[in-house]
Amino acid sequence: MSAATSQLQSLLPRESLLWIFAAQLVVLLPHTMHLPIWLLGAWAVAVYWRLEVFRGRRETPGRLAKLVAVSLVVAGLVLTYRRWFALEPMVALLAVSFTLKNIELVSRRDALLSLMLAYFLAATLFVFEQTIPYALYGIVCVVIITAALVAQQGRGSARPGRALGLSTKLLAQSVPVMLVLFVVIPRLGPLWAVPQNTKAASTGISDSMSPGDFSELSKSDKPALRISFDGALPPPEQRYWRGLVYTHFDGRRWSEPGAADGYPRWGRGRSNRRPFGDTSGDDRALPAVGPRYRYQIIQEASHNPWLFALARPNSETRGVRETGDDTLVYRTPVGTRLAYDVRSWPRESVGEGEVLSGSEQRRHLQLPASGNPRARAWAKARFEEGMDGEAISGALLSLYNRNFTYTLKPPALGADTVDEFLFTTRQGFCEHFASSYVFTMRAAGVPARVVAGYQGGEWVDQQGYLLVRQYDAHAWAEIWLPGRGWVRVDPTASVAPERIRDGLQSAAAEEFMQDAFLPLHKIAFVTRLRLQWDMINYRWYQTVVSFDNERQEGILRRLLGEISPLRMALFMGVPMVAALLLLLLWLKLSGRGPSLPVASRLYLRFCRRMARAGLPRNPGEAPGDYARRIERELPRLGPMAVRITRAYEKAAYGSDMLAEKQLRRLVRGFWPLRHTRQAQAQT
């Protein structure tokens, strides 16, 4: 039947087309951030073409032209993307499909298909970003797409105000259902491995450290981590958020060979076990001593797999595992904000009795074959003096303490970076200190490694979380001491203790954020505003983005007391039924005709009562005639009927307030059935 509806009716009018194009543009625009920009161009060409066809200036493209267009766009995609199993090419393919569909956007069917695709494409936006602005933009997208659907209904519906208004109304009414479903529908977790966002540049700490990396990071005040604690809070000097361990040094650059490629590969699957390298084996028994700190970390997208935690971490969050280097990694690069729960044990609880294996020893003593002779000589001399690891470390730290300056703008270093830093320039940033320290300790025969991560953080009191920004990025060292295991040493602390205590901002106040376009951090008001915004973000992330099974259970438990099928059914059912009842009520109210004047309603009540007494008013019978008929057929009620009718006529046509009052009084006291029954009883 619907197939038979006329061709004329199913052809798209101008308004329909324009609305579809508007919806597409709104959806496509933000995608240009991760998709090739030529897609937007291709879209514009397709739209132009379609509009020309509409104006009758051009023919609908033939088979050949369509083929050429498809091959051009596909070729463009092939050239842009080498890998197909990734997020961007798939989204690009979606965008391309609706771009090309525009050329043959002919029938209502095509229009609806195009708009359904637009809904989907709007949703893919959230896979890239889950921030508040994106969420708001997503709402705008959905409103406009829905308005475009409304506009397909015809000219009257296509007026912008009408379409947008109706669309907003419909969506607003859908929100309660959405909220209930959001809270109730269980999250299953990934059903299969999905391509991740790969193209985005990784931010934050990278898999290697060469001079200048960290001072680069110090220019950014973007949030990196937000950490909330369940219980005790570590004191500022203990807030070392370990992310990466660098063990390999090539004379200039510290790195973890194969780390960047290796992590994701381990990460396949869902197991939470360690892949290798852990001395305590797969089923590492957690120490008997309880964890010292329990906390949840919300990490911004870094596009790297490594996570951040205090030493000795353990996490139950899905997809997170511990490595042999005492750090955490995620199964894929962190493409969007990620929340994970961590427990950290005190170092002492596991340090006892640990032995460094041969291969580990070699790994942590590795040095380039040559270079930095003076540092090597210094170390050798200390070693020959018979000092143990701890003493050598002490000597080196006091050296730093005496002569070195902490600065964000150190002079450039030549080939022997460690030598030049230790004995010539003596000005540096955390990476210089960590690098030279680990080098020298290794030269002295003490296993050592560089640890990169964040240090410190800003405590946000109102919301109770620690805000760690990119400029809190830090590098420090760990040395292995027999009997004590890995011990953290922060050479920077011996030069600039305020860096550890109060953060970079006070340690390098002169240089801090000097290159920023506007020195906004110096304006207290702006700083406060930014902190406020960060708090909103944090709440948003806490409540919406990282909502998972655990939180779901928590909320349901709080709302329902316990989670039983009956209560769940009630929780789902009651709002639905309530909503339905409200809708029906609305239907009833909005569907009712203009309400009758009071007098008429009273008179109708009189008529109903008369009908019950056996003398209904005939359709179209004038009140006066009716009253006369009553007088004739039921003389007992006659006088009353006449009075009521007279009062009604006065009230209705004379707008007489007094008559209305009288009518009300009369009708209230008028019970014909009772009258007749009484009369019968009397007779």
Partner 1 sequence: MSVESIRKSTHPNTAADQPASTGAKPLFRARWLRWLNRRLPPAQTVTLDHRKLFVLPTSAGMGLLLVIFLLWLLGTNYENNLVLALAFLLVGMLVILPVHTFANLSGLKLQLRATHPAFAGDYGQATIALSKTGKRRHERLQLAWPPEEGQLTDVLDAEPHEIRLDLPLLQRGRVQAPRIQVQSRFPLGLFRCWSWVDLDAEFLVYPQPKPAGQLPIGASVGEGNQQKTFAAGGDDFVGLKNYQPGDSLRHVAWKQYAGGRDLYSKEYASGSDARLWLDWDLLGGRDVETRLSNLCAWVLDAERAQVPYGLRLPGHTIAPDLGSAHKHKLLRLLALFPVQGVSQ
Can you tell me which of 39, 150, 392, 397 binds partner 1, judged by CB under 8 A? Answer: 150
- Tell me which stretch binds partner 1 (CB under 8 A): 37-45, 439-447, 540-548, 673-681: 540-548
- Tell me which stretch binds partner 1 (CB under 8 A): 125-133, 397-405, 596-604, 608-616: 125-133
Active-site residue, 625 included: no
* Exposure string for 159-189, b = 16+ CB within 10 A, e = fewer: eeeebbebbeeeeeeeeeeeebeeeeeeeee
Indicate whether 266 belongs to the interface with partner 1 (CB under 8 A): no
Q: What is the smallest separation between the CB atom of 616 and partner 1, expressed in angstroms?
A: 21
Distance of alpha carbon 538 from alpha carbon 527, whole angstroms = 16
Can you tell me which of 30, 138, 267, 428 binds partner 1, judged by CB under 8 A? Answer: 138
Backbone angles phi and psi of 513, in degrees to 5: 55, 35
Q: Which helix (H) or strand (E) holds 575?
A: helix 565-591
Residue 91 near residue 35 (C-beta atoms within 8 A): yes
The neighbour count for residue 559, using CB atoms within 10 Å, is: 11
The neighbour count for residue 631, using CB atoms within 10 Å, is: 15
Site size for partner 1 (CB under 8 A): 65
Look at residues 100, 37, 102 and name the one whose alpha carbon lies nearest to residue 72.
100
Nearer to partner 1 by Cβ, of 9 and 680: the residue is: 9
Indicate whether 185 belongs to the interface with partner 1 (CB under 8 A): yes
Indicate whether 190 belongs to the interface with partner 1 (CB under 8 A): yes
* Side-chain half-sphere CA neighbours of 361 within 13 A: 9
Q: What is the smallest separation between the CB atom of 449 and partner 1, expressed in angstroms?
A: 33
Indicate whether 591 belongs to the interface with partner 1 (CB under 8 A): yes
Distance of alpha carbon 425 from alpha carbon 419, whole angstroms = 9
Can you tell me which of 5, 279, 401, 600 binds partner 1, judged by CB under 8 A? Answer: 5
Backbone angles phi and psi of 305, in degrees to 5: -80, -15
- Tell me which stretch binds partner 1 (CB under 8 A): 40-48, 119-127, 457-465, 513-521: 119-127
CA–centroid distance for 116 within its chain: 23
Active-site residue, 31 included: no
Distance of alpha carbon 162 from alpha carbon 160, whole angstroms = 6
Instruction: Give the DSSP per-residue string, 348-416.
Output: HHHHTT----HHHHHHTT---SS--HHHHHHHHHHHHTT--HHHHHHHHHHHHHHH-EE-SSPPP--SS
Distance of alpha carbon 521 from alpha carbon 513, whole angstroms = 8
Nearer to partner 1 by Cβ, of 26 and 408: the residue is: 26
Q: What is the smallest separation between the CB atom of 288 and partner 1, expressed in angstroms?
A: 34
User: What distances in angstroms separate CA 640 from CA 169, 331, 636, 670, 672, one per listed residue?
Assistant: 52, 89, 8, 8, 9
Active-site residue, 474 included: yes
Look at residues 543, 81, 532 and name the one whose alpha carbon lies nearest to residue 298.
543
Can you tell me which of 78, 377, 509, 544 binds partner 1, judged by CB under 8 A? Answer: 544
- Write out the two tokens for 170: 């419909």
Residue with structure tokens 């194009």? 21
User: What distances in angstroms separate CA 56 from CA 51, 59, 606, one per listed residue?
Assistant: 9, 7, 67
Can you tell me which of 6, 370, 462, 682 binds partner 1, judged by CB under 8 A? Answer: 6
Indicate whether 583 belongs to the interface with partner 1 (CB under 8 A): yes
Q: What is the smallest separation between the CB atom of 531 and partner 1, expressed in angstroms?
A: 24
Please name every residue paired with 320 in a beta bridge, in sequence order, or none if there are none: 330
- Tell me which stretch binds partner 1 (CB under 8 A): 146-154, 227-235, 458-466, 506-514: 146-154
Q: What is the smallest separation between the CB atom of 8 and partner 1, expressed in angstroms?
A: 8
Indicate whether 407 belongs to the interface with partner 1 (CB under 8 A): no
DSSP state of 636: T
Nearer to partner 1 by Cβ, of 186 and 358: the residue is: 186
Look at residues 307, 353, 308 and name the one whose alpha carbon lies nearest to residue 330.
307
Quote the strand ranges of 482-536, DSSP E. Answer: 485-489
Indicate whether 594 belongs to the interface with partner 1 (CB under 8 A): yes
Distance of alpha carbon 149 from alpha carbon 646, whole angstroms = 56
Indicate whether 192 belongs to the interface with partner 1 (CB under 8 A): yes
Nearer to partner 1 by Cβ, of 103 and 122: the residue is: 122
Region 547-576 residues binding partner 1, contact defined as CB under 8 A: 547-548, 576
Region 335-374 residues binding partner 1, contact defined as CB under 8 A: 336
Binding mask 273-312 for partner 1 (x = CB under 8 A): ----------------------------------------
Nearer to partner 1 by Cβ, of 355 and 583: the residue is: 583
Tell me which of 430, 432, 472, 534 is the catalytic residue: 430
Can you tell me which of 33, 175, 559, 577 binds partner 1, judged by CB under 8 A? Answer: 175
Indicate whether 194 belongs to the interface with partner 1 (CB under 8 A): yes
Indicate whether 153 belongs to the interface with partner 1 (CB under 8 A): yes
The amino acid that residue 591 corresponds to is G
Can you tell me which of 191, 412, 657, 681 binds partner 1, judged by CB under 8 A? Answer: 191
Can you tell me which of 144, 149, 311, 599 binds partner 1, judged by CB under 8 A? Answer: 149
The amino acid that residue 566 corresponds to is L
Nearer to partner 1 by Cβ, of 142 and 392: the residue is: 142
Indicate whether 108 belongs to the interface with partner 1 (CB under 8 A): yes
Can you tell me which of 99, 114, 146, 315 binds partner 1, judged by CB under 8 A? Answer: 146
Indicate whether 152 belongs to the interface with partner 1 (CB under 8 A): yes
User: Is the Cα torsion angle 592, 596, 600, 605 positive or negative in sign?
Assistant: positive
Please name every residue paired with 486 in a beta bridge, in sequence order, or none if there are none: 480
Catalytic residues, which ones?
Answer: 430, 474, 490
| Contact footprint for partner 1 (CB under 8 A) | 1-2, 4-6, 9, 108-109, 112-113, 116, 119-120, 122-124, 126-127, 130, 134-135, 138, 142, 146, 149-150, 152-154, 156-157, 166, 170-171, 173-178, 181-182, 185, 187-192, 194, 336, 544-548, 576, 579, 583, 587, 590-594
